[in-house]
């Protein structure tokens, strides 16, 4: 069953692999987007953020070198600047993200994915 599930996935990330395993164990085969290989553009990111119901800064991975190098800890940066940075540097995007219809969740912890499952 795919049932309109999309997983933004990084196969090198243990949390992302755990998310895919959880879905597959429940008979769900999501459309997998390897977002480091095919980065979402700014419009796609804004749509994901709307579905997640969070601000762009909440989707940032603050431990990545790009976060420090780009000065993304500057509170004066607006949402557009944060989205542009994530579009240009997809490693900054928190993962995994599961999308179903008009809703989405970040799978940290992995159990949060259960919120979208039938």
Give the CATH number, domain containing residue 14.
3.40.30.10
The single residue of 3, 7, 13, 20 carrying the catalytic annotation is 13
- The answer to whether residues 87 and 100 belong to one domain is no
Phi, psi (rounded to 5 degrees) for 97: -120, 125
What is the sign, positive or negative, of the torsion defined by CA atoms of 15, 69, 37, 116?
positive
Q: Is 106 a catalytic site residue?
A: no
- The answer to whether residues 7 and 44 belong to one domain is no
What pLDDT, on the 0 to 100 scale, is given for residue 93? Answer: 97
- The answer to whether residues 44 and 81 belong to one domain is yes
Query: pLDDT tens digit string along 86-105?
Result: 999 999 999 999 999 999 99
- The answer to whether residues 64 and 104 belong to one domain is no
Query: pLDDT tens digit string along 25-82?
Result: 999 999 999 999 999 999 999 999 999 999 999 999 999 999 999 999 999 999 999 9
Residues 84, 31: Cα–Cα separation, whole Å: 25
Of 93, 11, 88, 1, the closest CA to residue 52 belongs to 93
Range of the domain at 102: 1-35+95-118
Residue-wise DSSP of 55-100: -GGGGB-TTSHHHHHTTTT-TT--HHHHHHHHHH-GGGB-S-EEEE
Query: pLDDT tens digit string along 4-24?
Result: 999 999 999 999 999 999 999
Our count of domains for the chain comes to: 2
């Amino acid at each position: 069953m795919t049932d309109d599930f999309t997983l933004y996935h990084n196969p090198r990330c243990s949390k992302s692999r755990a998310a895919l395993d959880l879905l597959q164990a429940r008979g769900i085969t999501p459309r997998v987007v390897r977002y480091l290989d095919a980065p979402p553009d700014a419009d796609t990111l804004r749509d994901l953020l709307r579905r997640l119901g969070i601000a762009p800064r909440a989707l940032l991975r603050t431990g990545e070198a790009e976060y420090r190098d780009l000065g993304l800890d500057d509170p004066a940066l607006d949402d557009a600047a944060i989205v542009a940075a994530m579009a240009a540097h997809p490693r900054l995007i928190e993962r995994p993200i599961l999308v179903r219809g008009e809703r989405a969740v970040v799978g940290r912890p992995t159990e949060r994915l259960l919120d979208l499952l039938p």
